[in-house]
Amino acid sequence: MDKNTFYITTPIYYPSDKLHIGHSYTTVACDALARFKRLQGKEVMFLTGTDEHGQKIQDKAAAAGVTPKQYVDNIVEGPGGVKDLWKLLDISYDRFIRTTDDYHMESCQKIFTTLHDKGDIYKSVYKGHYCKPCESFWTDSQLKDGKCPDCGRDVYEAEEEAYFFKTSKYADRLLKWYEENPQFIQPESRKNEMIAFIKQGLQDTCVSRTTVPWGIPVPFDTKHTMYVWVDALSNYITALGYGNEKYSDYDKFWPADIHMVGKEILRFHTILWPAMLMALDLPLPKRVFGHGWLLMNGGKMSKSVGNVVDPVVLCQRYGVDAIRYFLLREIPFGNDGMFTNEALINRINSDLANDLGNLLSRTVAMCEKYFGGTVAPTGAATEFDEDLKAVVSAMPAQVAKDMDELLIPQALQEIFKAIQRANKYIDETAPWALAKDESKKEQLQQVLYNLCESLRMAAILLNAYLPNTAPKMAAQLGLAEGELSFEDLSWGKRASYTVHKGEALFPRIDVNKELAELAAQDAARKAAAEAAKAAEKPAEAPKAEQAEAKEQEHLPEITIDDFAKCEMRVAKVLTCERLKESKKLLKFTLFDGERERTILSGIAKWYAPEDLIGKHLCIVANLAPRPMMKGKYVSEGMIVSAEDDEGNVTVLQLPETVKPGAQLC
């Protein structure tokens, strides 16, 4: 029989830096699933937490001049830390585990000892490349051009005593498990990667270090600490009380219904973790889902790349539910997705403000205007009622199916399909016209009741995704708290409505104004950062020296990777005009192979607009957008040109055979 419990986990986060919106993505997705399962009446255990040991944290703490524990305490519990972020994003976790919690460390030591006693952990020698200054071992594949990937210095072959886990012993059992449990690894494409990885031949895993003191000590050989992944993966059972007295939920919730993880850590969760569980004779989790990444400027968002987006800033600007909605709706679950301000604003405007917000405000306003706020069914149908009812009634089962298959964007799409159907129903039935005809009063009331029913059903489901908005909808519709369960999802369940007009759910955003403002903020932030950097630089050289140096002025040498950061593309000039506000500037609309963009360029002295219309130019496409003319325009890139000795400017033009979008390299 199906258990009425549901155990869902996020990965536990490295608190080496503040979390960014990419981290929030996994957690918001798990939260939506957890809330949905609760709505369906399941007893849910939603676990999240932090993975606090290892070299990286140790180094960060040393750099900050604090102990590792002080360092992680601040990032996890401190103001603006991990727990604050989850509170802000309305993450309804049931348990938060920190791998520095005593009970977890005690359980991990028991797990390690058990595996050792069973012969699945053995002592041997770890061979690798050692970087002395970093005190780190690296494998062949980790080295960068044969050097230490952290500091770039030479490494030398070295050996270290270490314990190993017999991962290789479990290769066949793992493959058999995948075959017998087709749901275990999802999405399907990722399963094939894991199978191929195992078939290449599994190595045993080095599970202890003698050079990383910030870790859980191996209980029977305390000069060793445990490999962070053994410590981290164990959290999924220690948090339920496995091997400790702190909790006693293991029997109730294990095996987990789903481990949700990013694709880059799927291998740990589908090979090392199940092999450890097999060695411990414990059941395996039912599903491991490897989702894609949230990308920004084409790359995975990451602090080291410097392309992170701060979720706190986004929530303050647009509201928590708008951000949750964007994350859940925009990215096909399982694939990578792009974060852009435009995409976010468009989602807010089209789905939340237009579709959802308008449906509610129009419905409530009409109930008040025509019936003093109270409507009940009259039985006077219009020809459009059956279709609306069919679409809305089909929604709950379809959403539930999508959620079971982890198709979160599709589930939301399903809800919005019903919302759009209801908006269309307003246009079809034209209540304002019915209101003019006294004999159509009953029909009008039925129409408004039908709209309230549609909104009620949508609000119940939306609770899982938009936990701040759905209650606002319920309040405007006059629903009580006890009416928001899955059982209430049947058409006609409510006898009547007394509505109360409230504030607009999502005010519409003026896209151009907003983008200009964001660009201005970005420019100001960058200028402040530059100024701060300049303030750190040594005093400038005396004027005479500067003059001498001018002759050989060159930028510092860059690597091919530095160059690759500059995206130069061919773009076709669609329009070009002079600006009455400026003698210098020409305003271009260009097609860059994907979209149209506006660029302002100071070349009016050398070109008439008609000289350039239709021409294929070269643009720097990934330059941060820049507000110009006091924010009236935003220039989205730069046109590449060259200046001769007289200071005349010529733009770089390419033949028409080089199509828009072609990259210059």
592 Cβ contact partners less than 8 Å away, ≥ 6 residues apart:
569, 570, 571, 619, 621, 637, 660, 661
User: Structure tokens of 577?
Assistant: 């005009």
* Sites for ligand MSP among residues 222-261 (CB under 6 A): 232-233, 235, 261
Nearest-angstrom CA–CA distance, 503 and 468: 13
Piece of the chain touching ligand MSP by CB under 6 A; list 9-17, 512-520, 591-599, 632-640:
9-17
Given the structure tokens 């468009």, which residue do they identify?
Answer: 346
SS3 assignment for 383-422: CCHHHHHHHHHHHHHHHHHHHHCCCHHHHHHHHHHHHHHH
Shortest distance in whole angstroms from residue 653 CB to ligand MSP: 38
* Closer residue to ligand MSP (CB): 294 or 322: 294
Q: Which residue has the tokens 């789903």?
A: 258
Residue 131 near residue 151 (C-beta atoms within 8 A): yes
Q: For the chain, what's the residue count?
A: 665
* Gap between the Cα atoms of 256 and 114, Å rounded: 22
Report CA-CA distances (Å) from 46 to 49, 75, 471. 10, 21, 22
Give residues 566-595 in contact with ligand MSP (rule: CB under 6 A): none
Q: How far is the CB of 13 from ligand MSP (least distance, A)?
A: 4
Looking only at residues 276 through 315 of this chain, which bind ligand MSP when binding is defined by CB under 6 A? 293-294, 300-301
Q: Supply the minimum distance, in Å, between the C-beta of residue 288 and ligand MSP.
A: 11
3 state SS of 584:
strand
Name the segment binding ligand MSP (CB under 6 A); options: 12-20, 280-288, 367-375, 513-521.
12-20
- 179: nearest Cα among 202, 166, 198: 198
Of 46-105, binders to ligand MSP (CB under 6 A) are: 51
| Nearest approach, Cβ of residue 11 and ligand MSP (Å) | 4
**How far apart are CB 296 and ligand MSP at their closest, in Å?**
8
Write out the DSSP string of 225-275: EE-HHHHHHTHHHHTTTTTSSS---HHHHPSPSEEEEEGGGHHIIIIIHHH
CA distance 650 to 640: 9
Q: In sequence order, which residues have a C-beta less than 8 Å from that of residue 262 and are 6 or more positions away?
A: 11, 26, 290, 291, 292, 293
Could you say which of 7, 8, 11, 76 contacts ligand MSP (CB under 6 A)?
A: 11
Smallest distance, ligand MSP to C-beta of residue 453, A = 37
| Residue 656 vs residues 601, 616, 640: alpha-carbon distances, Å | 21, 6, 17
> Closest separation between CB of residue 235 and ligand MSP, Å?
6
- 230 or 395, CB closer to ligand MSP? 230
Residue showing the smallest CB distance to ligand MSP in the complex:
262
Site for ligand MSP in 374-393 (CB under 6 A): none
Residue closer to ligand MSP (CB basis): 11 or 625: 11
CB 267 within 8 A of CB 197: yes
Helix axis angle for 21-39 and 408-429, nearest 10°, is 70
Decide whether 51 or 120 has the Cβ nearer to ligand MSP.
Answer: 51
CB-count exposure of residue 574 (10 Å: 0-12, 13-18, 19+): middle
**CB 576, min distance to ligand MSP, A:** 38
- Least Cα distance to 427 among 351, 362, 513, 481 occurs for 362
Rounded to a whole number of angstroms, the minimum distance from the CB of residue 49 to ligand MSP is 9
**Nearest distance from C-beta of residue 276 to ligand MSP, angstroms:** 11
Burial degree of 144 (CB within 10 A; 0-12, 13-18, 19+): exposed
Does residue number 343 form part of the binding site for ligand MSP (CB under 6 A)? no
The residues, ordered by sequence, that sit 6+ positions from 608 with a Cβ below 8 Å of its Cβ are none
What is the nearest approach in angstroms of ligand MSP to the Cβ of residue 50?
Answer: 8
Three-state secondary-structure class, residue 189: helix
Least distance between ligand MSP and beta carbon 75 (Å): 11
Q: Does 265 bind ligand MSP (CB under 6 A)?
A: yes
The residue from 117, 135, 264, 437 that contacts ligand MSP (CB under 6 A) is 264
Q: What residues between 13 and 32 interact with ligand MSP by CB under 6 A?
A: 13-14, 22-23, 25-26
Nearer to ligand MSP, 23 or 389 (CB): 23
Q: Indicate the residue among 216 and 473 with the shorter CB distance to ligand MSP.
A: 216
Q: CA 366, CA 444: separation in Å to the nearest integer? A: 10
Tell me how many residues contact ligand MSP (CB under 6 A).
20
- Contacts with ligand MSP, residue ranges (CB under 6 A): 11-14, 22-23, 25-26, 51, 232-233, 235, 261-262, 264-265, 293-294, 300-301
